[in-house]
Amino acid sequence: MALDRWIAFVILCVALAYGYAAYFTMDQLLPPFMQRNPIWPSTFPKILAVLAVLTSLVILLGLEKPSADAAEKKPDIDYRRLADYHLGQAVLLLGLMVAYALTLRPLGFLLATTGFLSLGAIALGERKIYILIPVAVIATGVVWYLVQVVLGIFLRPLPWFM
């Protein structure tokens, strides 16, 4: 079985477990006044689980494959040639994600997110720093404003000592 089908099988198993939790365990503790609402806290997880199951089944059953002449081509990802791909960039990006999660509280949202976006873009090959830094700062500021002001969820914007 091809690598994409193995990944789809793993996603199918996770989606089935997630769907079971969404359909059978999340709604039991709802207070009576919320049980009459048309949208429950489990509505989005239920939709997400169904879409993930359908998508992974499409890949597992091969319904996304084009015509027979295209099937003769080599697959997009060959797991036997992983050394030919840019694994260093992927591992570096994963390390940056871990570092971002660890520095989010001490550095604050604005500095940690701007740093992650900038360093992540540099790791992926972006070289125009004069464009990269303003875009990262603006994107971070917009997300912070939406979460803090519009949604009303507190995010510490600056480091703990400020």
Judged against a pLDDT cut of 60, whether residue 110 lies above it is answered with yes
In this prediction, residue 74 carries a pLDDT of 62
Q: What DSSP element (H or E) covers 88?
A: helix 87-107
Q: What is the mean pLDDT of residues 16-36?
A: 82
Residues 70, 74: Cα–Cα separation, whole Å:
9
Judged against a pLDDT cut of 80, whether residue 34 lies above it is answered with no
In this prediction, residue 90 carries a pLDDT of 86
Residues 11, 155: Cα–Cα separation, whole Å:
32
Chain segment 42-60, per-residue pLDDT in tens? 788 889 999 999 999 998 8
Residues 92, 119: Cα–Cα separation, whole Å:
10
Long-range contacts of the stretch 78-81 (C-beta < 8 A, 24+): 79/3
Question: Cα torsion at 49, 54, 55, 57 (round to 10°)?
Answer: 120
Chain segment 121-144, per-residue pLDDT in tens? 999 888 899 999 999 999 999 999
Expressed in angstroms, the distance from the first to the final Cα of the chain is 55
| pTM, two decimal places | 0.55
Judged against a pLDDT cut of 80, whether residue 148 lies above it is answered with yes
